[in-house]
Structure 1
Amino acid sequence: MQSSRLTLALAVACVFSLNAVAGEVEVLHWWTSGGEAKSVAELKKMMSAKGHTWKDFAVAGGAGDNAMTVLKTRVVSGNPPTAAQVKGPSIQEWGGEGVLATLDAVATAEKWDSILPPVVASTMKYKNHYVAVPVNVHRVNWMWVNPEVFKKAGAKVPTSWAEFDEAATKIEKAGMIAVAHGGQPWQDATVFESVALGIGGADFYKKAFVQLDAAALNSPTTLKTFETLRMVRKHMDKDMPGRDWNLATAMVINGKAGMQFMGDWAKGEFTAAGKTPGKDYLCVAAPGTDKAYTFNIDSFIVFAQKNKDLKATNDFASTVLSPAFQQVFNLNKGSIPVRLGADMSKFDDCAKKSSADFVATNKAGSLLPSFAHGMAMPSAAQGAVQDLISSFMNSNMSSQDAVAKLLVAAKKK
């Protein structure tokens, strides 16, 4: 968080100096694209049915950077919205500023501890109190496959990184691109974390990239991860630098490339192109990661208000986590409901597989936050690690040097 703790602490008194309009819910978000905007309209309708006035506070910019700048200004001026779209460790950072309200009353009444996986519930809490409500789950460790490309190349869909190398080589010999990729730091990190998970497994991933354990980061497994990433990199085309993720997805859709490593927001591109899962494209876990699940979750933090009347805030949180909104939002977004036991009958096969794996990995202890998507590391460390991975992929940096630099990057605060 760029604003200093001192600056925000001085503003806390101001936060409580303003009355929220009774029954008004002002929500900061960056859901401005087609399917997302439809979902926001549905949320507005549901809140209106409960007697509340919706005040939209949309700030365009898919990654939310613009929204965070605006939010910090509002909080420092003592005029926070009811809720704001914030995720991962940033929830804890905002909790530490003393400006959030708790959702314990609604969470207890609606048994959030039972309907949310423990790893998700803990992310929504600050000092064991709910201060945020989750909206959805995106699976990150997907590999999107064009089966026709594989058929032409005589290759089989890989389940290990050794098999990946074989399949990619066959695809290239058949005159096609093996891996569609966009050379941007967050995309590079998305590939890296799937490689790390496939090489080291869930326990290694958790120690290295969630707990930032020095021994795990400085291990032979991390070295092998970088070596494997270099192998994956050689199967990407020379035009990848700066390419947007959706253009890479289009390469798979159009049969120019065989695979892409990307979260399930990529599915929306296939759907928009009229493609059918299981026939025109396959959604499979990245090699070696089928027993694990890296997640990216959208969520809202809620701010304290002077009048201390949290009815509108609690109704907002309750609505967001309701089965009805969870279904309509995630059908539009391409993600899956965050509630365990959700009705998946209206969802496509990829979403059904994602949901089944979400439940299974929760039980197995291999449901893991995606560090590439802001769910695991403090923002400073995440940025430094992403930059390192990107530098490695775009240079001749040795794997040994990369491991040493990773140790330094992970300590950034």
Structure 2
Amino acid sequence: MSRRRTDSFLEQFRKLSAMHITYLKYIGLWALDSNSSFLLKYLYFVYNKFILIIMIIFMVTLLADIFSNFNDLSIVTDDGCIFAGIVVVFFKVIIFQIRREQIVRLLHETIDGCNQLCKFPVGGEDKILNKYLLLCRVSFYGFSTLGLFLVIALLFLVPVENGELPVRARYPFDTTKYPWHAIGFFVEACTISVGVTAIIGMDSLHTNFCNLFLVQLGILSEHFKSCSSNSSRRDAPSNGNDLTNIICGNACYKMFSSTVEERNREKDNYKPNEIHRGSFVKQFRRSVRNHQCLLVIIDKFNKVFNAAMFVQMLSSTSMICLTGFQIALVKGQSSNTYKFLIYLAAAVSQLFYICWVGNEVMYQSGLLTQSQWLSGWTDELSAKTGRIINLAMIFAKRTLNLKAGFCYVLSMETFITILRGSYSFFALLSTMQSEGDQ
């Protein structure tokens, strides 16, 4: 019964990830299935390029308005906060398109890693899976609701006078006259709607990966602590290769491929009646090997998402600062205040959640050493057990970090640093505005 529930939870993780990819597919920022017809693929290719061109046009018009009003700080910051948001969306879209196959393959490997761990249940796996599945769902639907409010605020809550567009921009034609006004509004509405939908899909997929990492870390911790309690029935002594396998796994884990991982896992006995019959060393070694596989997956994850998250950190600093400055400027204008408040809430909550999940990965990985110490190795005192425990703890001392470029690690410390940087920039802009008014 427990195994069926575990499979059900993992299947729900797959479906949730597929939903995020569907978000991107429907707005033209992914790819059709390989079994789709040539005509359909060609039409989707045209659709994809059309959406990207619309986004580029919008960014160019924003940039043109910034340069043409460079001496007006209020206009520059108004355009700047929107520009910073759309730039990070566009950059992440390009990253996701270039590395689409790597992302799909990595997703399969990550869910497969959870599945391999759940083949040796010790109790508590269902609770861990349910906890992080609920977290994924709440965050996804919460950010989707916030994104809907943001689209409405940017397009419809802004007071428009004399046929102006909801977002300031400079076009090579008069947007106050028909049909140019309709064309300009279409460009802005399309870019904002697609951009918000894209960032929800991409960030939800990113945080799904992180939650699956937390699932594996939580289950690994339980497995390490249960090595002794599950070993009431012993097999024959191991063949003496346990220590060699662990050392080799640590030294060469970066070179592991999916084929090697499968070959290693085949050494385990997956028969339900045999799960709890392994010796302490066999169970402990199995958990160490799963830990090494997780290290490989997280390294791949950092390579895929490293650049995108670095741009996200830089963009968040600008968005929070410029949006806060605009809120201070438009005080008393309720419509503009609501627009920028929703925009600020979206920027801060997005940054906070990404950093919090990264911080949890760091924290949970740090608990593995404690779990190994509580594995019951004192009941198996021998020179061999001591060496394996010492080496495993050395391996576990490597803290798992989710990186954003070479400058940032996703953590609450990074979140606070970005808020401080945004406030410093905000104070500078406020001083410049005060001096300009005088």
Q: Which has the larger share of helix?
A: 2
Q: Which has the larger share of strand?
A: 1
Q: Which has the larger radius of gyration?
A: 2
Q: TM-score, normalised by structure 1?
A: 0.26
Q: TM-score, normalised by structure 2?
A: 0.25
